[in-house]
Amino acid sequence: MLFPQNTPTRSLVSLDGTWDFCIDPGRDEPTLDGASADLPGAEKMAVPASYNDLSQDAAVRDHIGWAWYQRWVTPSRLWAGQRLVLHFGSVAHHARVFIDGAEVARHKGGFLPFQVDISEFVDVAAPFRLAVAVDNRLDWSCLPCGEIKEPKGPQYPDGYRQQVIHFDFFNYAGIHRSVHVQVLPPVHVVAAQVDAQVDEQGRGQLAWVASLSDQAGLRVECCDAEGRIVASGSGIQGSCTLDEVHLWQPGAGYCYTLWLIAEDADGNELDRYPVRTGFRRIEVSKEQFLINGTPFYFRGFGKHEDSTLSGRAHNPVTLIKDLKLLGWINANSFRTSHYPYAEEVLDLCDELGIVVIDESPAVGLWDHSAPVFDCGKVGDDTLAHHNDVMSDLIARDRHHPCVVMWSVANEPASWEEGARPYFEAVVAHTRELDATRPLCCVVNTSAQGDRIQDLFDVTCLNRYPAWYSDPGRLETIEPGLLHDLREVHERFGKPIIITEYGADTVAGLHNDPVTMFSEEFQVEYLKACHRAFDALPFVIGEHVWNFADFMTKQGITRIIGNRKGVFTRDRQPKASAHYLRQRWQEASRP
């Protein structure tokens, strides 16, 4: 699937804006005819947005099950004779799409795009009703994992149910990324896999595998960032060599564009689509992560796609502010915790030279009260879906030079025996898809407690000393981390990135001597962690948890969300942001 773009042969019609919306009372299946009739009692809803925070009704915010989106689309006469492909950037978590009552697509998974050719369903002379039914329920067969529980007792009304989730972010739902009709020429490029490799001498190789909607020729032209054609080739599959490439570097993104040009037998251009990519070399040794031969130290954050009002939706306003703040604080990287982010995010990271660890939505694969792999809750269905998601993720993101590593999961129950065969399968599948990037799985286990870390190239650890253990005991952080990280490195022999460490901090709360939840505590907390990291040469990165405060489910440890942000949810700096800005400016390591 190709990201929707306007090109000389393609045009895009945005369906973003306001749609009609209503909650469906159905328990398992939708009960309303939202596909072919007006929605009863419809309210207006923004697209893209999570629906949860746009209502004054807690029942909408906390809804479990189906909801309907609907709008009319007026085709243009210019669509006649073209292929019409309807594209959704993401819909959380399960979607059914209808045109004038006919179901045209189904999709499972809330963080990756899907599309469907709707040409046969559209009469370009008449408006059509577009409806999307969205189900936000999570079970053990999808990612993220969750389960629906039906607790019984006098306090629970009849039929009461809860969506139980084993992850720490609000289960936002809705149409989260843009919706487009792509108006494509009858013969067009359907998909393309583009890989850019560069050797130590600076010679680049650009390989492509494309598919077309019909028989045609394919020519490719590779342009540098200034638009000069620097290489060309032909064929559905092929490669071309560039004798000397301009490298993509952290902090200095440089991109090439591979134009895929479909042609008829006479050389007439039928379609033209650009894929942007870049050349950089990634290597991992026992103690280093090298980008273009230079050791790279990850300075940055685990993030979320999360903002007030929009919820989990892609929002260009928040994106731009976040990228500005990453620059301001001297960060060079982040992890797309805990799911793939919008493609627009990666495009800008390519351009700006921001290094990204691209994470799958495999989160919540654990339960504090019971095993999940060993008792089959996380089983063959989960694995099949996990592998599908890795295929879709890599198909979507493989051309991005900013993506330097795939993270296959966050904090699965990696201490269980059953985790091993499960992750052996995920790793084998993922390596087959992309042999050029290192793999990691972010864990919170100790050296002894883990059964899977040896399968990965970089050890990624989440650590909360003096927070979830020994709360407030700052003096335990440095000795504890030194011991713990040395043990882990001794056992697995891989470089270590601390992918999470942090402390909840209520902006504006002060206490001296320092106390948990105060701004002063967060600063002292980070300093203590840094003393340990700085003493260990095999620690190759520090990603603070979290970039900004974010919404979670309600709970006794969450004060309207998780407050471990270095920035507030509206992106204002806490004291820790100023401290980090200084530390990362002075960083002697690259």
- What is the spatial distance between Cα 254 and Cα 401, in angstroms, rounded to a whole number? 9
Q: List interacting residues with ligand GCB (CB under 6 A).
A: 167-168, 338, 410-411, 444, 462, 500, 545, 562, 564
- Residue 161 or 558 with smaller CB distance to ligand GCB: 558
Provide the pairing of β-strand 403-410 with 355-359. parallel
Catalytic residue selected from 305, 343, 478, 500: 500
Kindly state the greatest CA–CA separation across the chain. Answer: 79
- Residue 491 or 558 with smaller CB distance to ligand GCB: 558
Residue 411 known to be catalytic: yes
- What is the spatial distance between Cα 268 and Cα 442, in angstroms, rounded to a whole number? 50
| Nearest distance, CB of residue 369 and ligand GCB, angstroms | 17
Distances (CA, A) of 488 to 157, 203, 352, 439, 454: 48, 37, 34, 17, 11
| Nearest distance, CB of residue 545 and ligand GCB, angstroms | 6
In the Cβ-directed half-sphere of 383, how many Cα atoms lie within 13 Å?
19
571 SS3 class: coil
| Nearest distance, CB of residue 15 and ligand GCB, angstroms | 32
- Residue 384 or 560 with smaller CB distance to ligand GCB: 560
Which residue, among 400, 354, 395, 396, has the nearest Cα to 255 in the 3D structure? 400
Consecutive H or E run containing 475: none
- What is the spatial distance between Cα 250 and Cα 299, in angstroms, rounded to a whole number? 11
- Residue 253 or 465 with smaller CB distance to ligand GCB: 465
Q: Which residue is nearest to ligand GCB (CB)?
A: 168
| Nearest distance, CB of residue 309 and ligand GCB, angstroms | 21
- Residue 52 or 444 with smaller CB distance to ligand GCB: 444
What are 337's two structure tokens? Answer: 């915790």
Instruction: Decide: 43 and 21 in contact? Cβ < 8 Å.
Output: yes
Question: Which residues make Cβ contacts (< 8 Å) with residue 92, sequence separation at least 6?
Answer: 50, 110, 111, 134, 136, 172, 173, 174, 176, 312
| Nearest distance, CB of residue 91 and ligand GCB, angstroms | 22
Provide the pairing of β-strand 204-212 with 189-198. antiparallel
- Residue 462 or 522 with smaller CB distance to ligand GCB: 462
Catalytic residue selected from 305, 343, 351, 411: 411
Residue 150 known to be catalytic: no
| Nearest distance, CB of residue 562 and ligand GCB, angstroms | 5
The catalytic site residues sit at: 411, 500
